[in-house]
Homo-oligomer: A and B are copies of this chain.
Amino acid sequence: MIKEIVPLKITEVPTGTRVFDWKVPNEWQIRDAYIADAKETRLVDFKRHNLHVVNYSAPVDAWMTLGELKPHLHTLPEQPDLIPYRTSYYQKTWGFCLSHNDLESMDDQQKYRVVIDSTLAPGSLTYGEAYLPGSSQKEILLSTHVCHPSLANDNLSGVVVAAYLARELQRLDTRFSYRFLFVPATIGTICWLSNNKSHLQNIHGGLVLAGVGGPGPFTYKRSRAGNTPIDRIATRVLKDRRSHVVQDFVPMGYDERQYCSPGVNLPVGSLSRAPYDTYPEYHTSADNPTFLTPEQLFESLAVVSDVVAALEHDLVFESNRPFGEPMLSKYNLYSTGELGQDEKDIQQALLWLLNFSDGQHSLIDIAERSGLPMHAMLEAAKKLEQHDLLRRSNEDRCE
């Protein structure tokens, strides 16, 4: 389905392939799974909800008492209506997830038929990749995990925002190249890193996109290094919006754990709305499409687009009139009279850019120091280049 939005190169990594400290596991196929009562009435049925079976469950077909079954049942007693999401990738087991209410209605006296019709067998791990070349080989990485097929915010939202950003960028001439990864979390990312080790030095910055469709303030989690251009630009773009959170890197979370592992150490941060494991719908059946809104998805797309625009324009300029202020009125750049807030911001951005464009400060440096909105900085930089008051420095930092 992503291929309908953006051309994808698909890579298959065979079961058993060694990737760094890991080995690609068997592929899991699930056809059916249920718990039925003596009358063969299905009480819990994978066909009614994907979440009912613990992901990666081994096959089973048995009659057992509730007592025997219970160690294999997962519920949320404090959210008794919801089905939890559970996986067991590296510990061979099987299990069912159900609402606590459904568990309460089960019965100690009778036996249950328990069926998981699954296969765990050699196959492959699959990831998709879209590469959009720009004028530089330096690239921006956008990575999103695709391994939760039945959760909406975590992470269909990331997949959708990444795909539509890719579609938007395809139409533009960009300075940077862009790479979009649609990968299973952890092992998929490790596969991609393992396959692309020699290539990593080209990555100028990147974002892991996850949980970007639900409510909650935007949260940017810094890269391991913490002060790279993507870190500073994402922080600045979020500051121009009302409420937001910026967090330091911690080695827990999504795939930034891999991109920021010590031997890789890429300038890759993470963008979410509410971060992982902080909202009640997280990893439950309540993380379904009703939890998302088109507005929230669009706003996330807008934020990522703003980050991309600022990265594209984060250049180091030098003033062509460095001695004293230039006479702005000569260039029709001196506004008088009543100005709106946007015009005032641009007027001030002109002065900030002229003063700090000394070959030492990039656009984000000056944006941080001035506190002006990024769009005013971009607009002012455009005007000053048009009037030949600024030139691009050879010290362009991204090359």
Contacts and interface: CB of A to CB of B under 8 A. Distances in A.
A90 B326 CA distance: 13
18 contacts: A21-B321, A21-B325, A21-B326, A21-B330, A22-B324, A90-B327, A193-B324, A251-B352, A252-B351, A260-B355, A261-B324, A261-B355, A262-B354, A263-B319, A263-B322, A263-B323, A264-B322, A265-B358
Contacts of A262: 319, 322, 354-358
Contacts of A319: 262-263
A257 to B, nearest CB: 6
A285 interface: no
Contact of A261 (B260, B322, B330): B322
Interface of A: 19-22, 90-91, 186, 189-190, 193-194, 197, 224, 248, 250-252, 257-258, 260-265, 319, 321-327, 329-330, 348, 351-352, 354-358, 369-370
Given A261-B355, A355-B262, A193 B251 contact: no
A22 B330 CA distance: 9
Given A21-B324, A251-B351, A264-B322, 12 more contacts: A20-B323, A20-B324, A190-B324, A224-B355, A250-B370, A251-B325, A251-B352, A251-B354, A252-B348, A257-B355, A260-B355, A262-B357
Contacts of A90: 327, 329
Contacts of A22: 324, 327
A292 to B, nearest CB: 29
A325 B264 contact: no
Contacts of A351: 251-252, 257
A356 to B, nearest CB: 7
Contacts of A197: 323
Nearest to A331: B21
A70 B163 CA distance: 58
B329 A91 contact: yes
A325 B257 CA distance: 7
Nearest to A88: B336
A358 B224 CA distance: 12
A20 B354 CA distance: 14
Most buried by B among A20, A261, A265: A261
A218 to B, nearest CB: 24
A261 B325 contact: yes
Contacts of A248: 369
Contacts of A322: 261-264
A267 B299 CA distance: 44
A363 to B, nearest CB: 15
A374 to B, nearest CB: 18
B327 A264 contact: no
Given A263-B319, A319-B262, A319-B263, A325 B252 contact: no
Nearest to A370: B250
A377 to B, nearest CB: 13
A330 B25 CA distance: 13
Contacts of A194: 323-324
Contact of A193 (B20, B190, B323): B323
A361 to B, nearest CB: 9
A323 B264 contact: yes
A330 to B, nearest CB: 7
List 5 A-B pairs, minimum CB-CB distance, nearest first: A263-B322, A251-B355, A262-B358, A251-B351, A263-B323
